[in-house]
Amino acid sequence: MKLKVIGTTHDEWVQALLGQFPKQANKRSIILIGTLSQLALTMCARIIGYRVIWLSNNAEHNTLVQRLLKLMSSIAQKIIIPNQKAEAYYLKLGIASNKLTYLYPVCDFMAPKKPNEEYLTLACDGSIAVDESLGSLLRGVLLANEILGNIKLIIAGDISNKHAIEWSSQQLGIKNIIQIIPSKNNTWTKSCDVYVLLNTVNQSAPLSLIQAMAFAKPVIATNTLSNHEFIQQNNNGVLIKEINADMLSQAIINLSRKPEWMAELGKNNYNFAKEKFSDEVLQEKLSNILQ
């Protein structure tokens, strides 16, 4: 039977998952995306005999909508969630944990390899490199390059403010070591030695993080709850306490001086990604949900 999908979302995790869903299901099933379609259509779909599955993002709502979501969730069979932030939100609403299922998008994979010996290439997602993060990122790279002298920085992806990046790097005198790569996919993470993520407490991790992990890249990230889902301190990455140029530069320098450790962090990320972000894992979970 054809799997019906209703609703839209701007959440990149959910958009990526949608492209990897099968077109058919064993039972009459409907995927409802977004709060509006979930509240409006769950009851009707169940009445006419559909198995109702919610595909949810990281949106938060006012008290009235929260109560309605809790009520309608009792009728839906499954709620697919993209990360721990969404899980915590639903559990806070009082929704049963056995209704929640993690689904992560599938990544491309690249076997671990030795870091580049000539240059240390860092990469940062352009959707994150704005506001306070941008200044700390560029100053941290400047400080590290003053010590090491071999830093390159790639800022790529869905870049929020290219002109601000160019102006700031020009002012700091590091424009010659920065490459800006607008891109609609996350394969640009393949080109780096270390992936850097300076996100705030309220920001979810971008998809480029898990793609970098699947490409066996070590990670330097801020110590936020959203990053704890994927990064363990000194196991597959380095967590710094806050968005801070000095802390970032020190983390870069420490990794650069320990290539064996960098390789170990990258290998651990690759192994973690194989357990979480492979097509085999996704298909197995989808078959359990849609059967």
Q: What pLDDT does residue 89 have?
A: 87
pTM score, two decimals?
0.92
Q: Which pLDDT band, with edges at 50, 70 and 90, does 85 fall under?
A: confident
Strands (E) in the chain, as ranges, are 4-6, 29-33, 51-55, 78-81, 100-102, 120-125, 151-157, 178-182, 194-197, 219-222, 237-240
Q: Give residue-wise pLDDT tens across range 237-289.
A: 999 999 999 999 999 999 999 999 999 999 999 999 999 999 999 989 888 88
Average pLDDT, stretch 61-89? 90
Whether the CB-CB separation of 191 and 154 falls below 8 Å is answered with: yes
Is the pLDDT assigned to residue 20 strictly greater than 80? yes
Q: What are phi and psi of 276, to 5 degrees?
A: -115, -35
What is the pLDDT, as a whole number, of residue 45?
Answer: 95
- Going by pLDDT thresholds of 50, 70 and 90, the confidence category of residue 38 is very high
pLDDT in tens, 145-160: 999 999 999 999 988 7
Per-residue pLDDT, 19: 85
Q: What are phi and psi of 177, to 5 degrees?
A: -110, 10
The pLDDT assigned to 237 comes to 97
Give residue 130's pLDDT band: very low, low, confident or very high (50, 70, 90). Answer: low
Query: For position 153, what pLDDT does the model report?
Result: 97
Mean pLDDT value across residues 125-142:
84
The mean per-residue pLDDT over the stretch 170-198 comes to 94
Q: Which of 119-123, 129-133, 220-224 has the lowest mean pLDDT?
A: 129-133
Model confidence at 39: pLDDT above 80 = yes
The set of residues, in sequence order, having a beta carbon less than 8 Å from that of 175 and lying 6+ positions away, is 166, 169
Q: Which of 15, 1, 5 is nearest to 158 (CA)?
A: 15
- Report the percentage of the chain scoring pLDDT > 90: 65
Q: Which DSSP string corresponds to 75-126?
A: T-SEEEESSHHHHHHHHHTT--GGGEEE-----------PPPSS-EEEEEET
The yes-or-no verdict on residue 203 having pLDDT over 90 is no
Res 129 pLDDT > 70: no
Mean confidence (pLDDT) of the chain: 91
Number of helices (H), then strands (E), belonging to the chain: the values are 11, 11
Q: Per-residue pLDDT for 116 more than 80? A: no
Judged against a pLDDT cut of 70, whether residue 196 lies above it is answered with yes
Residue 118 backbone phi and psi in degrees, to 5? -85, -45
> Does pLDDT of 204 surpass 90?
no
For a pLDDT cut of 70, what percent of the chain falls above it?
99
Kindly list the structural domains of the chain, giving each domain's residue range(s) and its CATH number in brackets, ordered by start: 4-103 (3.40.50), 120-275 (3.40.50.2000)
pLDDT at 171: 94
pLDDT bucket at 49, cuts 50 / 70 / 90: very high
